[in-house]
């Protein structure tokens, strides 16, 4: 399926129901920092909680605390979590998924290595709903293709079970 068709298909359709994924767990920000190089204030994932290794799908969470500094400027009278940061959050979850799929495990290995990657392309994105202070995001990432050089993920941000954002992203492994 081509990129445009894939994005259109999942513009409204949820990639997976997180509570139906085979592995249920609760990994914290501390655990996430063992998987990806992002740190505060640019680590946007709060937790990882469900995984399907067979279908290469991972679920995570982010609570949008009302006093996030970015809400003061985006926008002062009507704060909204930026779409670009939603795409970044999907990308961070995709990097976490890279560990689980690459190691073929639902565990975070003691010797987990931080990936050396760079974003190469946002293939496309749809923004359907606003995310506001106090919202609880559920983020989904599904590995679409990868080899030793490139990886592509389809991701979603959902809000109360509805798709808010869908994005297709590509990274290069260095």
Active site residue 38: no
Residue closest to 81 by CA, chosen among 166, 157, 160, 161: 157
> Active site residue: 63, 74, 106, 146, which one?
74
Q: Is the distance from CB of 118 to CB of 174 less than 8 angstroms?
A: yes
Burial class (CB in 10 A: 0-12, 13-18, 19+), 65: exposed
* Residue pointed to by tokens 């009302």: 66
Q: Where are the beta strands (DSSP E) in the chain?
A: 23-27, 47-52, 57-63, 117-127, 136-146, 150-159, 162-173
Q: Which residues are catalytic?
A: 74
């Amino acid at each position: 399926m081509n990129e445009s068709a894939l994005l259109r298909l999942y513009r409204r359709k949820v990639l997976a129901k997180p509570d139906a994924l085979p592995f249920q767990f609760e990994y914290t920000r501390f655990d996430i920092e063992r998987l990806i190089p992002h740190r505060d204030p640019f680590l946007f994932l709060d937790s990882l909680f469900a995984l399907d290794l067979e279908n290469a799908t991972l679920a995570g969470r982010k609570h949008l605390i009302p006093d996030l500094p970015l809400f003061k400027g985006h926008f002062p009278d009507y704060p909204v979590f930026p779409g670009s940061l939603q795409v970044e959050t999907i990308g961070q979850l995709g990097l976490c998924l890279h560990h689980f799929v690459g190691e073929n495990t639902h565990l975070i290995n003691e010797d987990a290595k931080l990936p050396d990657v760079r974003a190469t392309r946002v293939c496309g994105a749809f923004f359907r709903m606003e995310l506001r202070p106090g919202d609880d995001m559920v983020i989904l990432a599904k590995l679409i293709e990868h080899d030793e050089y490139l990886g592509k993920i389809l991701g979603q941000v959902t809000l109360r079970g509805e798709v808010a954002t869908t994005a297709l992203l590509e990274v290069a492994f260095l």
